[in-house]
Amino acid sequence: MTLDAAILCAALLIVLGVLVWARRRAPHGTSQERDTLDAIGDDLIVLQAALESGAGGVGERTVERMRERIRRVKG
Amino acid sequence: MFLSLGGWPWLRATVALLIACGLLTRRAPRLSGWLWALLLASVGRDVLKVVFLFPCRLAHTTIPPLVLSADTALWLVGPASLVGLVWGCFGGMGRWVWACWVGASIALSITCPTGVALAQAYLAVQLAAVLVSAYAVVRWLWRRERPTTAHAIGLLSVAVSGAILLSSAWRLGDPFLRWRVAQEMIMCEFVIMSLLTTRLQRS
C-alpha cells in the first residue's frame, strides 16, 4: 500500500514538474503574436539582403510592408 | 455483492468519476464524451457481473461466450477513453481511437483468451494506451506551447494510468490483482480532475 501511494505521489509530482517545465520553456505571447513576430523576422532578413544588394526599390517596399506589420502587432 | 464489485473504493471511484463527468460536460463537452463512455462502460461491466458472471460462478456453469466478449469490449473502453481524452486535451485523433477499440474488441472476441493469456492481453492493451497517450504529451512538449488547464487534465490522466499500470499490471502481471488500490488511484485522479475542470474555460 505504501509503495502504491509512493508511486501515485511520484506520478502527481511528475505532472507538476512537466507543467512547470513546459511553462518556463514556452515562449511568451500568443501563437498569433509569435507568428507575426516570426514573419517580421523573415522580412528583416529580406530587407537586409535587399539593402546589401543595393536594390533600393525592393528595400523600400519591404520597409513599408514591415511598418504595416508592426502597426498591426502594436494594435 | 457490494464487496464483490469492489466495496467502498469502487463506490468512491464511481462517484468521483460521475462528478468529473458532470463538471466536464459543462466546461468541455467535446472532452466529456470520453469520460461518459468510461462511466457507462464501467457501469455496464458491473451490471454484467451482477446479472451473469457472479450467478454463473456460484452455479458452476459456463459463462456464455457473448457475455465474455461484451465484458472484454466494455473493459477496452477504459484504455480507449484514456487515449481519446489525452489526445483530445493535446489536440488531434478521435475516430481512430474508436476504430482501434472495435478492432481490439473483435480480435479478443475471436481469440477468446482466458486466465494468464487474458491478463497478458489486457496488460499489453494498457501499456499501449499509456504509451500512445504519452506520445501525445511528448508531441505537445516538442511544440513548446504554454500549458493550459486542459493540458494539465491530459497529463494527470496519463500519469495516474501509468501509476496504476506500475502498481498492479506491470509489477504483478495481472491488472486485477490490485483492483481496490487502482480504484483509490482512480478516485484521486477524478477528484483532482474535477478541481482542475472548475478552472477550465468553456469551449
Q: Which of B151, B155, B167 sits opposite A4 (nearest CB)?
A: B167
Q: What is the three-class DSSP state of B144?
A: coil
Asked if pLDDT for residue A53 goes beyond 90, the answer is: no
Cell of A48: 537586409
Q: What angle do CA B153, B158, B159 make, to 5 degrees?
A: 95
Question: Reduced to 3 DSSP states, what percent helix, strand and coil does chain B have, rounded to the nearest 5?
Answer: 85, 0, 15
The model's confidence at residue B76, banded by pLDDT at 50, 70 and 90, is very high
Cell of B58: 456460484
Interface test with A, best of B130, B146, B148 (most A CBs within 10 A): B146
Least confident range from A2-6, B90-94, B101-105, B175-179: namely B175-179
Q: What are the tens digits of pLDDT across the range B81-127? A: 999 999 988 877 777 888 888 898 888 888 878 778 888 888 889 89
Put simply, the chain B residues between 160 and 179 with a CB less than 8 A from any chain A CB are 160, 162-163, 166-167, 178
Check CB contact under 8 Å for A22 and B181: no
Q: What is the three-class DSSP state of B62?
A: coil
Predicted pLDDT at B60: 78
Q: State the amino acid at position B130 in one-letter form.
A: V
B188 Cβ partners below 8 Å, 6+ apart? A8, B160
Q: What percent of chain A has pLDDT over 70?
A: 60
Distance from CA of A33 to the nearest CA of B (A): 13
Q: Residue B108: count other Cβ atoms within 10 Å of its Cβ.
A: 20
Sign of torsion, CA A51 A56 A62 A65? positive
Give contacts of A7 with chain B, Cβ < 8 Å: 163, 166-167
Interface test with B, best of A3, A9, A14, A15 (most B CBs within 10 A): A15
The model's confidence at residue B169, banded by pLDDT at 50, 70 and 90, is low
The model's confidence at residue A54, banded by pLDDT at 50, 70 and 90, is low
Asked if pLDDT for residue B6 goes beyond 80, the answer is: no
Contact of B81 with B32, CB cutoff 8 Å: no
